[in-house]
Amino acid sequence: MLTFHTSWPGLYGVRYTFETYPIGTTFQQIGGVYIFCKLAPNGNWDALYVGETDNFDERLNTALQRHQSWPSCALLGATHLAVMIVGGGKLERCRIETELRHSLNPPCNRQAA
């Protein structure tokens, strides 16, 4: 399977490196941060949604159809998942997820007012 690395900017000058796979890839049952994304016409990656999970395989495969943002990500053309294993538990995953959401401002994370 073809995998490659993508780098996403956080708010504070940190760049986070993710492994990027086509949607439908089987993952290990470990936790981290993920990004639904697609390749943009200019060759860069567009982040559509940033999330965190304690089990990549369940969240991004078994339960994908129940993911609250999957329909809008699919509608916007999501083709890949960028995943980064994060140690330190839910608190650390949420810290990184929040930082990336604020930095990238992905359309499928926006909530109606």
Residue 108: pLDDT over 90 = yes
- 88 sits in the region (left: phi over 0; alpha: psi -120 to 50; else beta) called left
Q: How far apart are CA 97 and CA 89, in angstroms?
A: 12
Averaged pLDDT of the chain: 93
Q: Which CATH number fits domain 4-107: 2.30.29, 1.20.81, 3.40.1440, 3.40.50?
A: 3.40.1440
Residue 12 confidence (pLDDT):
86
Residue 1 confidence (pLDDT):
55
What are the boundaries of each domain within the chain? 4-107
pLDDT digits (tens, 9 = 90+) for 3-55: 789 999 998 889 999 999 999 999 999 999 999 999 999 999 999 999 999 99
